[in-house]
Every structure is written in structure tokens, then in C-alpha cells.
Amino acid sequence: MKNFLLAFTLLMGVVAQAQTPEELVRSIKSKLDRVSNYSATGKMKTNVIFLKAPIAKVQVYFRKPDQLRILNEKGISFIPKGSMNMDLSQLFIDPAGFDLLDLGNDKKTGWRIIKLLPRDPVSDVVLSTIYVDAAAGLIRRSSTTTRENGTFELEMSYGTYAEYGLADKVIFSFNSQEYKLPKGITFDYDDGSGKKSTSTGKPTKGRVEIYYSNYQINKGVPDSVFR
């Protein structure tokens, strides 16, 4: 029996390795397609150079095809622009489809690197790169370049909800624009420490981490959430 199991596992590994990028993407998409909506509780940590924000308890709502809302019902949370990209199914909704480019396996992690090139020339997404844990059939990392909002990067850790392709932890990195406020609306005072603006005058990287718990999958999400 033991031998049989071992043989099966090995075989599966070989099969996975043998998957074409198309097959891999299709299997991921089918996993993601099982979720038409969800809501989840999340703990959100924001790390943007010019923003000091407390760790917030948020509610994340998703509805197909492209509605994603992060709400902090009790307090205030700065939600980065392009946060809808936090849901991976966004990558695959382009009806015109995309060309796939297999870049092989990442040497360190062993993840399969696949580039997605949208066929639609006016698509907002210019290029996506996904790092797939082929054995688990899960995207572990992605990087998406858009015309409008720069480049987003996602890093996922999976747990209980891996079968739906839903992460327990997502790190969302984005380009934050230069922080600059007109003097009249800021509430400044010079404490004599000689601290100058943290603004570098250039866009910087921002990072949002969300730790998910308590997913409610396919139980419906009211319209009011997305208004």
C-alpha cells in the first residue's frame, strides 16, 4: 500500500511537471471559477512610506467578475488604488484571452513562471507574470503591469481555503504616487527636530498585507457593498 501511494505521488508530480502552461492556467482558472462570490474577515496592515495607519480589521467582499471591495466598517482604512487586482481571477477575465509564455521554473522556489500577454491591444493590463506552485495548482506570486495604475505585485500564502484558490495571506505591493499636499490644508508644526518631508518626489512602493479568516464562499454578497 505504502509503495503504491509513493508511486502515485511521484506519478502525479511527473504529470504536473508535464503540464503545459495552458493546462496549468486552465486548472487554476477552473479552481477559481468555483468561487462566484465571497466575503472574508481580514486583518490589514498598511505600509506606505508617508502613511502611519493602525492595523485594521476589514471585511473583504468579492463578486464575479471584477468586483472587489475592502471595507473597514468601524474605522478608517486607506485602500490602495487598484486593490481589485488583489483577486487573482482578475487575471483571467479578459475575454480576448492572452498568449502564454512559459519561462520555466524558478530556481529557488521551483515555481513555474508564466507570462500572460493580453491579446487585446487596448487592455489595461499590459503584462502579467505569475509564479505557480504547479503541484498545488496555486498562484504564489504575480506581477501585473497596467497602463493606468502602474505595476502591482501579489504574494499569496494558502491554508484552509486552498481548494478554492483563496489565500490566507496576501501581500499587495503597489506604486504610490508622490506625497505632496498644499501647505494650506496640512496641520503642521515644527518640533525643532529638523525632520523634513519623507516625500522623495518620486513614486514609491506601498505595501498592504491582509490576513484572511472566516471566508464565506458563494453565500452571496449584497449589492449595497459595492456602491
Interface residues toward another protein, by CB under 8 A: 45-55, 69, 71-81, 83, 174, 176-177, 179-183, 185-193, 195-199, 206-207, 209, 227
| Minimum CB distance to another protein, residue 211 (Å) | 13
73 three-class SS: coil
Exposed / middle / buried, residue 136 (Cβ in 10 Å: 0-12, 13-18, 19+): middle
Q: Between 55 and 93, name the residue whose CB sits nearer to another protein.
A: 55
In the complex, least distance from residue 55 CB atom to another protein, rounded to whole angstroms = 5
Closest contact distance (angstroms) between CB of 47 and another protein is 4
Shorter beta-carbon distance to another protein: residue 190 or 223: 190
Q: How many CB atoms lie within 10 A of CB 196?
A: 6
Q: Cβ(204)–Cβ(176) under 8 Å?
A: yes
Q: How far is the CB of 75 from another protein (least distance, A)?
A: 4
Tell me the CB-side half-sphere exposure of residue 116, using CA atoms within 13 A: 29
Pairwise CA distance, residues 200 & 216, whole Å:
41
What is the nearest approach in angstroms of another protein to the Cβ of residue 4? 47
Whichever of 79 and 217 has its CB closer to another protein, that residue is 79
Query: For the stretch 81-100, what's the b/e string if a residue is b when 16 or more beta carbons lie within 10 angstroms of its beta carbon?
Result: ebbebbbbbbbbebeeebee
Name which of 161 and 211 has its Cβ closer to another protein.
211
- Output DSSP code: residue 223: G
User: Which lies closer to another protein via its Cβ, residue 31 or residue 90?
Assistant: 90
Which residue's CB is nearer to another protein, number 56 or number 114? Answer: 56
Nearest to 55 by CA among 203, 183, 211: 211
- Give the shortest CB-172-to-another protein separation in angstroms: 13
